[in-house]
Amino acid sequence: MVFLENFYRVLLLAHLFATFVLVGSMTHNLLCVIGYIRGKFGRQKLEWLYVKVSLWAYLIVYVIGALIYPAYRIHIRHEYFDPQLPWATGLFEVKEHWGAVGLGLFFVFYFLRRSFKPAEEKEKLFLYVPLCFILNVILWYKIVIGCYLTLLKGCW
């Protein structure tokens, strides 16, 4: 018996639902941040709310992902991906490494945003805007690859 394997499907669904919240809030955040580039600063409060929601959603997604990883490692990766579709493991490994980078970046993103007002300290946008874009790249890679791998083999 592998750790939490009986709850794998439920946790995988929870992982997916939390990811919906995360991608939704971060994509909306990106739209607000694109507004900053164009000199539009009317949605700062809403954008700050998206940052807070995203941070919590990311933490939840990360913890659930870490909990279901042992069952995935045995029943999906070891039994199917590694012997038959090793390239799928490659896609997954990048997802995990970028996910870990994303966790660190999310804290930087959160504390940076908390420390400044975009309309008043525009020079800090030189870090804030790229961070937002990079986090969105990480998240969209994670959700697209995660869904694709689940289509290949979601459970056993």
> Cβ distance 139 to 154 under 8 Å?
no
Closest to another protein by CB, 42 vs 130, is: 130
Secondary structure letter of residue 50 according to DSSP: H
Does residue number 10 form part of the binding site for another protein (CB under 8 A)? Answer: no
Closest to another protein by CB, 28 vs 73, is: 73
Closest to another protein by CB, 46 vs 66, is: 66
Q: Which residue has the tokens 């959160």?
A: 110
Q: 30-89: which residues touch another protein (CB under 8 A)?
A: 66, 69-71, 73-74, 77-78, 86-87, 89
> Cβ distance 16 to 59 under 8 Å?
no
> Cβ distance 149 to 67 under 8 Å?
no
Distance CA 14, CA 83 (A): 28
Closest to another protein by CB, 69 vs 140, is: 69
- How many residues form the binding site for another protein (CB under 8 A)? 35
Task: State whether residue 124 is helix, strand or coil.
Answer: helix
Token digits of residue 41: 């600063």
Distance CA 78, CA 7 (A): 19
Q: 86-105: which residues touch another protein (CB under 8 A)?
A: 86-87, 89-91, 93-94, 96-98, 100-101, 103-105
Q: Nearest Cα to 59, choosing from 9, 110, 13, 8?
A: 110
- For residue 13, the minimal CB distance to another protein (Å) is 21
- For residue 119, the minimal CB distance to another protein (Å) is 15
Instruction: State the residues that interact with another protein by CB under 8 A.
Output: 2-3, 66, 69-71, 73-74, 77-78, 86-87, 89-91, 93-94, 96-98, 100-101, 103-105, 123-128, 130-131, 134, 138
